[in-house]
Chain A
Amino acid sequence: MNNLLGLRELDAEDIRHVLATAANLREILGRSVKKVPTLRGRTVVTLFYEASTRTRTSFELAAKYMSADAVNISVAQSSVSKGESLKDTLRTLESVTADCIVIRHSSSGAAHMAARYLKIPVINAGDGRHEHPTQGLLDALTIADHLRPDTGFDFSGLTVAIVGDLAHSRVARSNVWGLTKLGATVRWCGPATLLPSDADRLPVQVTTDLREGIADADVVMVLRLQTERMEKGLLPSLREYSRLWGINATTLRWAKPEVVVMHPGPMNRGVEIAADVADGLGPGATVIEDQVHNGVAVRMACLYLLMDTGSPRVEDKL
């Protein structure tokens, strides 16, 4: 693995290897001194063209817990605001001897572009509507913890329903590839205006009916609904959305009793997810904070696998 651009490019064996590595490294997060020397002397640059709390923070902490130096480029205060192209910005960061670039960008394919122009490893921290592979990995790790512990990440027999704004979601796309490769059945459920074209030709079951979408599901993954969708004429109102596709204590009963409820965050409480479900007061188990916690472990695993071992390009530089 030279880069992590998307889960579509990985095979099941790669994914299981990252997840197993993350499960091992997660032990470090429970220590009083959360520091191992594994990546000492290496530098990770995070380049975020979009706002982010959890992804950016967890990448930075993941790097620091492994003793790498982490530098965060804030686009607003960088040469990007002077009109520097993405390619030139990337080349500059490589020239100042970054060992790995973590990139978040509003354009689909930005991470692929980075990989095309850089020799150092690139990690996609979310590109447009395309993929968010570390989110897909942390979701898989969380599902395994709750529903398939100690099975070697075998998800056969599990049904995962992803509900909401699928058209604009990179999380939904990464999860399709990641979860189906691990053996799960994936359903997509949302309003017709928020389903991407030809979604039924992906390896998912597609429905606009929430009851059908989450019936007997083992996992309900709720996606964030961006409120600007109303202005674009995709939805009449938040009220109607919430009534037809909102996940609350009533609708959640259509899923399995021990259903696991997930959300990649940030949440709109009362819109796509009811506050009591978000806080774990509904049926089943709400695991949103576990997802965030696992995010650090997954990002440690990705940095470790790309920078420490099995990467001849990194070794060549030493």
Chain B
Amino acid sequence: MTLILRGGRVLDPSQGMDKVADLVIEDGRICEITEAGKGNGSAVEDVSGLLVTPGLVDIHVHLREPGFEYKEDIESGTRAAAAGGFTSVCCMPNTEPAIDTPAVVRQIIERAEAVGSARVFPIASMTRAMAGDRLSEIADLKAAGACAISDDAFPVQNAETMRRGMEYCAQFGMTVMTHNEDQSLTVGGAMNEGLTATVMGVPGIPRVAEDIGAARNILLSRLTGCRLHLLHISTATTVEFLRWAKREGAPVTGETAPHYVTLTDEACADFNTNAKMNPPLRRAEDREALKAGLADGTVDVIATDHAPHARHEKEREFDKAPFGILGLETAFGLVYTHLVVPGVLTLHDAIRAMTIAPAAALGLPVGTLKPGAFADVSVFNLSERWTVEPSTFRSKSRNTPFGGWELLGKPVMTVLGGRIVRA
């Protein structure tokens, strides 16, 4: 079975490629990239005028299964991924039960193989039940298929626990992905501490809570040699800490999310719970520092922190509504419209931050169109203008602050293992 994507602009940062070509897929793998019009095969899709990239990789997604299927499940979450041009997602362990045993890891992988529209790589919890004390059985979790270890949503507060967890992970080559927050500084906080929160009378989450958490985790990574990935960076100072860590040669990568480079805490005004996430939207200075960090490569990865919540959960008092917003179905359009078009990032660097960079951060075998790789491919129409309409999302949830936004650049075809999962 051969599939040809004919005549598209093939852009693959993993091999420095950007040219009009035919992409030849055979038996679910990339066979070759050949001169436009030369590829032969049983099925041909004309993608001339369109952008062809490795399938996007999102290493920070909450699929909510098992336990919270009313918000999202593997089937709906991976359909949302495919709709957004993502072919690989890493799912966070704050499920019920948590991803802290091999059984849950295998259950997610099997379920994704059965009903998924994207590859799913489970991330396991550093501690049992994400309680922050006893370590999970990390070697067994890795053997079962866990791709990394994280404390997202329930950051490990005890520095000794984090140190030993990193030491333990390092011996198996497991990357630790940290939510950086000193929670003694954020009790009761619901949005960024600052003028907007003061006017709204909403308890604040200070930027230093993230910075202290990030500094601690970077220092522990240097101490233990454990590969560290800083999740959802939202502050200028944490970008600076990451820059320092890289200069020192520490094995550290970092990500930010589209909402942190497009919004500020002013989006919370009028008590909009769909602009509430943790870490929270910050100041314009932070947004600009994040853009600069992406531009100079300090911030390696763009991930979405796709965090579905049911409508009734977000239709609550601002301080009582849960943290988190959707990301998968708006990410590419936001990145293209607000980072690439204004010249903050080249298209090449934007695609790198959403393909090979996240794959490399965790050592995932995806994010490339090199011959022999999985035939995971995304096709985008960069000239298509569209309006974000949450009611059309494939996700089960609707919690986005981007409803009604006009975006440029739309995913139009997603190929997973040689099979068109969305056209």
Contacts and interface: CB of A to CB of B under 8 A. Distances in A.
A117 B319 CA distance: 17
Nearest to B197: A197
B159 interface: no
Contacts of B270: 112
Nearest to B196: A198
B312 A85 contact: yes
A234 to B, nearest CB: 12
Interface stretch (A21-29, A125-133, A246-254): A125-133
Most interface-central of A105, A128, A199 (chain B CB within 10 A): A128
A130 B319 contact: no
A107 B194 contact: no
A170 B199 CA distance: 10
Contacts of A199: 198
A197 B317 contact: no
A193 to B, nearest CB: 14
Interface stretch (B59-67, B200-208, B331-339): B200-208
B320 interface: yes
Nearest to A109: B271
A128 B201 contact: yes
B316 A129 contact: no
Given A108-B271, A112-B271, A197-B204, A202 B198 contact: yes
A198 B316 contact: no
Contacts of A129: 201-203
Contacts of B194: 197-198
A8 interface: yes
Interface in B161-209: 193-195, 197-204, 206
B315 interface: yes
Interface string B303-323: 000000000100111111000
Contact of A201 (B195, B202, B317): B195
B211 to A, nearest CB: 15
B317 A173 contact: no
Contacts of B202: 108-109, 128-130
Interface string B255-278: 000000000000000110000000
Most interface-central of B198, B206, B270, B315 (chain A CB within 10 A): B198
Nearest to A111: B271
A217 interface: no
A48 to B, nearest CB: 15
Contacts of A108: 200-202, 271, 318-319
A288 interface: no
A228 to B, nearest CB: 13
16 contacts: A85-B312, A85-B316, A87-B312, A107-B318, A108-B200, A108-B318, A109-B200, A109-B202, A113-B316, A130-B202, A173-B201, A196-B198, A197-B193, A197-B194, A197-B206, A201-B195
Interface of B: 193-195, 197-204, 206, 270-271, 312, 315-320
Given A85-B312, A86-B317, 12 more contacts: A85-B316, A87-B316, A107-B320, A109-B202, A109-B317, A109-B318, A128-B319, A170-B201, A197-B198, A198-B194, A201-B195, A202-B195
